[in-house]
Amino acid sequence: MIGMMYLVLTALLALNVSKQILDAFIVVNESTETTNTNFSRKIQDTYDKFQIQYQLNPNKVGPYWEKAKKARYYANNLTRYIDSIRAVVVLKTERLETLQEAWNLKLSEAARKDNFDVPTAYFIGSSYDGSVGPAHDLKLQIEKFKVDMIELVDPKYKGMIKMGLDTKGPFYDASGNKQTWEIHNFYHTILAACVTILNQLKADVNNAEFDVINNLFSTITAEDWKFNEIQAKVIPKNNYVFIGEQYQAEILVAAYDTTQNPDVRYMLGVDSLTPANFKNATPIIGKAGIVSISMEGTSEGLKKFAGIIRIISPLGDTMPFHFKDEYIVAKPTLTISPTKMNVFYIGLDNPISITVPGSPERIIPTTSAGKIRPEGKDWIVYDLRRGQREAVVSVSGVFEGKARNMGSFTFRLKPVPDPIAKIGAKSGGTISKSLLVASPYIILEKPVGFDFDLKYTVTSFTFVTDILGDIYDDKVTGNSLTPDIVKMINGAKKNKRIWIENIIAVGPDGEHSVPTIALKIN
């Protein structure tokens, strides 16, 4: 599809269509660059597989691997040259100062992408047919690349290789006159088209390289080679095992023949199994190149094991692959730590942290009193009621879809301590008349050392005094001295006493009866 768009745009260019149409080259160029990047990854995957086969059997694969490395060398050389002339033409056309700027400049950001004078002068030079300048050098390098690449292929397969990169033509202009490859591609060609053409040439190089290395790779028959890994792998389902459960893992090896059962043995407590101890080790029955190993977790601690997988190669040789692993056996344990205190307070949200070892998929906590909910990475125990004495938090961990009881922790339940009442910042002792009149509000504070932020509201209190000689008391609703009481205090003599008692406050855990404030006016 990108190739078709490129051909259409090239034809439009020959017809001298508007700049807006030519800007479509930017879209094609970006698509081509993305395709080239993805194709490069695909080519690298093939080289990686090729190298694995070479490492497994260098004698068999060596000649083909050497040709594959040459193919990579030829393709890299040509693409590097294409990239270099692209950078130079962008540098000259955009009037940049350094090649690095040209490398980094996106075509869509180019200010002179519709300019054709500079690209023409650069690619064609002073020749009438393009036989002088980078365009001609590029043509020669393309032709050499095609010759070098096709020589890597067995003669009987050469007809199957799609080299592309046509430089012979014939090529024609819009009037039907013959042109050289250089003139056809780069004469009066705007910068946007030049960059797109160069990237399309890189795509053709990638295609040729991919066809050649795949042809070389295909000569290694599937019958001879079935390996896709070069190391034995131990894949544990869980490296943390509880007592009474099993450590389970899969040991995988890609065999030449999937019906071949490898000879596998292992030994506990060792870092490696030597060939001399192979017969003394514990055997495991495998199937189709896959061996499952299972060991009981009977005692706590770090456990390790090592072994050897032996398979027969197509040449009849015994090939050993060493493996080793370790795992931990532990008792089911549970850690629940209060984040603010060692008790739960009735009527409050009590935050706790719950940690279960062994990396469970999730944890499920429950409580015998109140309710529990998640909050961030922690949990909140709430809705605790008066009359309850303790709350037992139990936790289950989910491992491989199964819930396991991890233990529990018991918390004592306590009521929230009464707040401290103050007026004029005093909860007792002496107070000046002016301070008392200026601050006639009863303020409640949480006890010292109590970590929760609580809000209380004073709903009523009784004001008692001997200011008038006899004992006077007045029940007040709210948290403020009444105007009459303030007037009485203003007329009070020194050393007269006042008491604020029967203070009733409402907090998050319900109603509290707050201790009396006893003051003497100085």
Residue 290 and residue 363 in one domain = no
Look at residue 5 in the predicted model and tell me its pLDDT.
45
**Mean per-residue pLDDT over the chain, rounded:** 82
Closest CA to 230 of 62, 56, 60: 56
Residue 468 lies in a domain: yes
Pairing of strands 420-423, 350-355: unpaired
**pLDDT (tens digit, 9 = 90+) per residue, 52-61?**
888 888 888 8
**pLDDT (tens digit, 9 = 90+) per residue, 306-354?**
998 887 765 566 778 888 888 777 676 666 665 555 788 888 888 988 8
**pLDDT (tens digit, 9 = 90+) per residue, 242-285?**
666 777 777 765 544 566 677 889 998 888 998 888 888 989 88
Look at residue 77 in the predicted model and tell me its pLDDT.
93
Does residue 442 register a pLDDT over 60?
yes
**pLDDT (tens digit, 9 = 90+) per residue, 203-251?**
899 999 999 998 888 877 534 544 545 567 677 766 666 666 777 777 7
Closest CA to 310 of 346, 284, 337, 328: 284
Look at residue 337 in the predicted model and tell me its pLDDT.
60
Tokens found for residue 435? 């301070």
C-beta neighbour count of 199 within 10 angstroms: 23
Domain count, the chain: 4
Look at residue 303 in the predicted model and tell me its pLDDT.
82
Residue 174 and residue 253 in one domain = no
Q: CA–CA separation, 406 vs 330, rounded Å?
A: 12
The fraction of the chain above a pLDDT of 70, given in percent, is: 85
Strand (E) positions, 101-222?
Answer: 171-172, 178-179
Residue 210 and residue 243 in one domain = no
Hey, what's the torsion of the CAs at 143, 148, 151, 152, to 10 degrees? Answer: -140
Residue 340 and residue 454 in one domain = no
Residue 404 and residue 384 in one domain = yes
Domain boundary among 414, 435, 469: 414
Look at residue 246 in the predicted model and tell me its pLDDT.
77
Look at residue 392 in the predicted model and tell me its pLDDT.
92
Does residue 76 register a pLDDT over 50?
yes
Residue 102 and residue 58 in one domain = yes
**3-state SS class at 255:** coil
Look at residue 66 in the predicted model and tell me its pLDDT.
93
The fraction of the chain above a pLDDT of 90, given in percent, is: 21
Residue 137 lies in a domain: yes
Q: CA–CA separation, 443 vs 480, rounded Å?
A: 9
Does residue 136 register a pLDDT over 70?
yes
Residue 320 and residue 361 in one domain = no
Whole-angstrom CA distances from 381 to 136, 385, 453, 509 are 80, 12, 16, 14
Look at residue 461 in the predicted model and tell me its pLDDT.
94
Does residue 356 register a pLDDT over 90?
no
> For the whole model, what pTM was predicted?
0.44
Q: CA–CA separation, 97 vs 95, rounded Å?
A: 7
Number of continuous H segments (helices) and E segments (strands) in the chain: 11, 26
Pairing of strands 378-382, 350-355: antiparallel
**pLDDT (tens digit, 9 = 90+) per residue, 148-157?**
989 998 888 8
For 485, the domain range is: 420-521
Q: CA–CA separation, 319 vs 255, rounded Å?
A: 10
Residue 426 lies in a domain: yes
Tokens found for residue 173? 């202009």
Look at residue 72 in the predicted model and tell me its pLDDT.
93
Phi–psi pair at 432, nearest 5 degrees: -75, 150
Look at residue 512 in the predicted model and tell me its pLDDT.
83
Domain boundary among 347, 380, 414: 414
Residue 65 and residue 126 in one domain = yes
Look at residue 491 in the predicted model and tell me its pLDDT.
85
